[in-house]
Structure 1
């Protein structure tokens, strides 16, 4: 099922939201980039109301006024869900979106029924830092992101494309406003306050947020289960959409929904 794009006014900010399906709401928070798209969510829309809000600076979501802190990012997500009439949802986040989802679940526990985090960013694990994609060549970046480069075929221009480049610049500016640095040193304290049942999903070949970070996340989360996937990289949901579909199905069964 294809997600439909709409632009909502959220407290005066034009905000892009992609949505499909009916049923229990499932909200997906994207990572630092969106070039790879959201096609992997189509299968979930057969059972859930899938909602994908784009951050300020991404897609048609207006960059300004600035969103400049973890709390403001979480509050913006809350405001989008309020505008959509979504009171409580399964919350899924990937990479930097996993970090955002964790903060949202800690700040607004009543809004999250279950939490699913795919290779989330932010944990400072000595000897196993997250990769800095910015200085990498396109080939190096591709190798870091995925074990299956076919999922990014046709996603990047083959020549100069000012519009494409301008979109990436806006996304970078958005991230630099609220990301605390190379890692989030307050993250462990945030995770300790999460009450939602949590499932961590990690590709064992992840070269962006390396697998040793997974154990640190699980240790810090009071209600977390960890599943790892051999042969899968950072974009594990794109490499195998069934990973997320099975995870959400399992958390639904466990909570009796």
Structure 2
């Protein structure tokens, strides 16, 4: 991991491989380490850029809410600092919300984009209330307790039973999230707009990946468009964390999509 000085604040990122740029964004209370099983499967074909997003991992964690637009601009600034003109941008969960903002406002910097266990829908009223509850829980109980409660529900029930080490690894990664970073991201996700039109109307290739057993972003919320430019991929048996649960399958989906998008 290296710290890259971007406009505003430093962003830490992993930069591995050679070829066309592929940027992978992690989810809430994650970090670049969420992708540790996937990157080695892609770096022979792509230059794989995996940042710790604002407020997460080793990157800067300023106080206050982080809008998805701010976090998307962080990614743009990172591309500028790395002198990358265009990339394929894929985001997991919260990272998908950031990818949508980026695609809406900086489409000229992309060859393609996609959502992995994410949705273009906005938060419902119930979900918005849960974001506030998350902030309260972090402040009252600390990040370790919050992550311990969050992570098990990210995995398919069968995975949780058969591979508890994956849950422990995701928790270890989550513990490194600065509390103010988790709070800022939760508040920012709460205010994101409906961006289904960004998926359906894009002139770019779009990838939508869903887990069959994902209780947070079920397939019907991921697959918001079936237009010709949209590739839908369902990973059987996976929950919200296919980069850990089914890394080989996810990497194959990403590779096929990115190679096709770059050839266009």
2-side partners of 1:132 and 1:210: how far apart?
A: 18
Say yes or no: does 1:28 pair with 2:24: yes
Distance 1:21 1:76 in 2: 22
In the alignment, the residues of structure 1 paired with residue 54 and residue 146 of structure 2 have an alpha-carbon distance, to the nearest angstrom, of 26
Q: 1:11 aligns with which of 7, 12, 19?
A: 7
How many residues are matched? 243
Between the aligned partners of 1:137 and 1:31, the Cα distance in structure 2 is 15
Alignment gaps of 5+ in structure 1 = 158-163
Report the equivalent of 2:225. Answer: 218
Cα separation, 1, equivalents of 2:256 and 2:176? 40
Alpha-carbon distance in 2 for matches of 1:218, 1:131: 27
1:234 counterpart residue number: 240
Counterpart Cα distance in 2 of 1:94 and 1:250: 18
Q: How high is the TM-score relative to the length of structure 2? A: 0.78
Report SS of the residue matched to 2:179: helix
Displacement after TM superposition at 1:244 (Å): 2.6
For the residues of structure 2 that align with 1:138 and 1:79, how far apart are their CA atoms? 29
Is the 1:30–1:97 contact (alpha carbons within 8 Å) kept by the matching residues of 2? yes
Q: 2:207 matched to which residue of 1?
A: 199
Change (3 A) 1:47 1:172: same
Work out whether residues 129 and 209 of structure 1, in 8 Å CA contact, stay in contact via their aligned partners in 2.
Answer: no
- Correspondent of 2:189 among 179, 190, 215: 179
Counterpart for residue 48 of structure 1: 46
User: Partners in 1 of 2:149 and 2:251 — Cα distance?
Assistant: 29
In structure 1, which of residues 145, 162, 168 is the aligned counterpart of residue 154 of structure 2? 145
Mapped partners of 1:109, 1:154: distance in 2:
34
With normalisation by structure 1, the TM-score equals: 0.80
- Alpha-carbon distance, 1:218 to partner: 2.0
Give the Å deviation of 1:166: 7.0
| Residue 80 of structure 1: aligned partner | 78
1:55-95 CA distance string (max 9 Å, x none): 22112222237674333222221111100011101111111
- Gapped runs of 5+ residues in structure 2? 138-144
**Higher RCO by CA contacts (8 Å cutoff, separation 6 or greater):** 2
Let me know the Cα RMSD of the aligned residues. Answer: 3.2
Please tell me whether the aligned partners of residues 20 and 50 of structure 1 are also in contact (alpha carbons under 8 angstroms). yes
Task: Give per-residue Cα distances to partners, 1:161-214, cap 9 Å, x unaligned.
Answer: xxx757341331230452234xx4432244344221011110010011122212
Matched-pair contact (CA < 8 Å) for 1:70–1:179:
yes
